[in-house]
């Protein structure tokens, strides 16, 4: 199904064909489209829970467990045969890679520079990463992206509004804080915080911690003088396949870059070049929506985070640059029967696993306190970005994701979040102050799964309330409304969010 973006959808920008080439779609009938429009229209009745609201992933929803494995279950509607595929993918997701040469040929090729030895080391229990707790803690689930400004000649000609950036000539696009034996790591992460008190209308003082990041102990000389750094914490993994299956046209339908409706919200799509399909595609994954599919996001993580080559990132040196000659000349794990350190089959298995991590069922959707918080969430305007529900494409070969009513609470669009959250580093069409709306499903289980309640792109917020209070830019009005709420209303709002 092709979606053409023209001047009617995005003012002044050239049209794109932003279909869903990654999906085998059965087109919707007019009757289905009408039913979907009806069921996804935001409710105005807060006296009871909506039908199916307690199943945020539709038939793929899983039982809400009370242990740390709540995010690690396969889709609730997965077949017996596909559950076996899921488990094999889980094994690869958890695999600890080792340096080459090794007798375990299927597992060698780590690095030489890396941030973690496995996917699971960053996405522990398939949950959310965190910044270091103290100076003795490691930074294994947070790293710094890096780039430098490009020239107009470096812009992506096929994508209008694309910010021209280049890798740092020495350090590439990501800083790695580990290296295999005999090699130097690129850096160590430095973080310092300054507390910023915010007074709420009821007199409560909430302290926000404003971080400053530094790249310390640089192993390969100085960064480029114009280097732009951006911290990234590993996000939770649930529901990715369902987000991937939302029709592009439904996401683009929420875009309002010129704020024509006057609500102060100007969602914009990120548009990126797909290495698989060799065409511009809607960005959906990553904190700035810089990847179009789960497969491409997974391959990029293998290369950048672990230093593992794949058909999409064939360099055995991972993210090493030409300036890092020792790294380029090292023994790598490719060139055997696999050809790459993770072959196409292995990459597909990890992507399948990532697509099918189930979303836990809602808790207490009919509770009066939660319903009151829901009413406040909607009336405050939070749903302008955190779109409650979508219906996924009907798919020929992905029954787990096919034609599901889902409740992710995201529009998957970019929004300017103001100077407080700006990293000042653009990515594709995302400016230095824009971020993709984060899905909220599962947010109330973060403590249970990840052992902390750190939120936002760098984990600076230590609670849901702190995360809300960091909102600025397009969300300034909603943030200010929360500050002015009576205590009982604010408590109800947070209780509702914790039920998601």
The structure's pTM equals: 0.95
- Look-up: residue for tokens 């779609």? 25
- Measured between alpha carbons, how far is 98 from 109 in angstroms, rounded to an integer? 6
What are 391-447's pLDDT values in tens digits? 999 999 999 999 999 999 999 999 999 999 999 999 999 999 999 999 999 999 999
Would the CA dihedral through 23, 64, 232, 496 be positive or negative?
Answer: positive
The helix or strand, by DSSP H or E, that contains position 491, with its residue range, turns out to be helix 487-498
Has residue 78 got a pLDDT over 80?
yes
Residues 269 and 15: beta-carbon distance below 8 Å? no
What are 206-253's pLDDT values in tens digits? 999 999 999 999 999 999 999 999 999 999 999 999 999 999 999 999
Pairing of strands 4-5, 16-17: antiparallel
- Measured between alpha carbons, how far is 448 from 64 in angstroms, rounded to an integer? 11
What are 152-192's pLDDT values in tens digits? 888 888 899 999 999 999 999 999 999 999 999 999 999 99
Q: How far is CA 302 from the centre of its chain?
A: 15
Cβ neighbours of 138 (radius 10 Å): 14
- Measured between alpha carbons, how far is 53 from 57 in angstroms, rounded to an integer? 9
Q: Which two tokens stand for residue 373?
A: 């918080």
């Amino acid at each position: 199904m092709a979606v053409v973006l023209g001047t009617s959808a995005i003012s002044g920008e050239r049209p794109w064909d932003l279909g869903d080439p990654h999906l085998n779609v059965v087109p919707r009938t007019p009757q289905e489209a009408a039913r979907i429009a009806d069921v996804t229209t935001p409710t105005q009745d807060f006296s009871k829970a909506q039908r199916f609201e307690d199943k945020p992933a539709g038939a793929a929803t899983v039982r809400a467990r009370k242990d740390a494995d709540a995010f690690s279950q396969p889709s609730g509607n997965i077949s017996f045969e596909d559950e076996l595929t899921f488990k094999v993918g889980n094994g690869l997701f958890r695999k600890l890679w080792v340096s080459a040469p090794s007798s375990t040929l299927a597992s060698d090729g780590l690095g030489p520079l890396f941030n973690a030895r496995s996917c699971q080391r960053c996405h522990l229990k398939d949950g959310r990463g965190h910044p270091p707790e103290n100076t003795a803690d490691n930074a294994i689930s947070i790293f710094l992206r890096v780039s430098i400004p490009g020239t107009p000649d470096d812009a992506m000609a096929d994508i209008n509004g694309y910010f021209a950036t280049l890798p740092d000539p020495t350090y590439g696009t990501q800083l790695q804080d580990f290296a295999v034996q005999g090699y130097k790591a690129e850096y160590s992460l430095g973080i310092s915080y300054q507390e910023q008190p915010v007074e709420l209308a009821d007199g409560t003082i909430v302290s926000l911690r404003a971080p400053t990041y530094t790249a310390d102990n640089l192993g390969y000389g100085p960064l480029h003088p114009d280097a732009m750094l951006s911290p990234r914490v590993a996000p939770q993994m649930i529901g990715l396949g369902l987000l991937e299956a939302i029709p592009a046209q439904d996401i683009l339908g929420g875009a309002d870059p010129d704020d024509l409706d006057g609500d102060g919200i100007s969602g914009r799509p990120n548009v990126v070049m797909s290495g698989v399909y060799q065409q511009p595609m809607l960005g959906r994954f990553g904190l700035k929506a810089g990847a179009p599919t789960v497969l491409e996001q997974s391959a990029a993580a293998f290369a950048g985070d672990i230093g593992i080559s794949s058909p999409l990132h064939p360099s055995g040196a991972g993210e090493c640059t030409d300036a890092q000659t020792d790294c380029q000349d090292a023994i790598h794990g490719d060139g055997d029967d696999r050809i790459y350190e993770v072959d196409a089959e292995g990459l597909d298995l990890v992507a399948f696993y990532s697509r099918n991590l189930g979303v836990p069922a809602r808790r207490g959707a009919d509770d009066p306190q939660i319903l009151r918080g829901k009413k406040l969430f909607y009336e405050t305007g939070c749903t302008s970005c955190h779109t409650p529900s979508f219906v996924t494409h009907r798919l020929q070969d992905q029954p787990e994701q096919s034609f599901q009513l889902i409740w992710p609470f995201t529009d998957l669009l970019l929004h300017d979040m103001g100077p407080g959250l700006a990293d000042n580093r653009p990515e594709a069409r995302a400016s230095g102050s824009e971020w993709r709306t984060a899905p909220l499903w599962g947010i109330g289980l973060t403590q249970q799964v990840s052992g902390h309640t750190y939120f936002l792109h760098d984990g600076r917020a230590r609670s849901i309330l702190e995360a809300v209070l960091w909102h600025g830019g397009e969300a300034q009005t909603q943030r200010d409304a929360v500050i002015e709420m009576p205590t009982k209303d604010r408590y109800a709002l947070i209780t509702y969010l914790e039920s998601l």
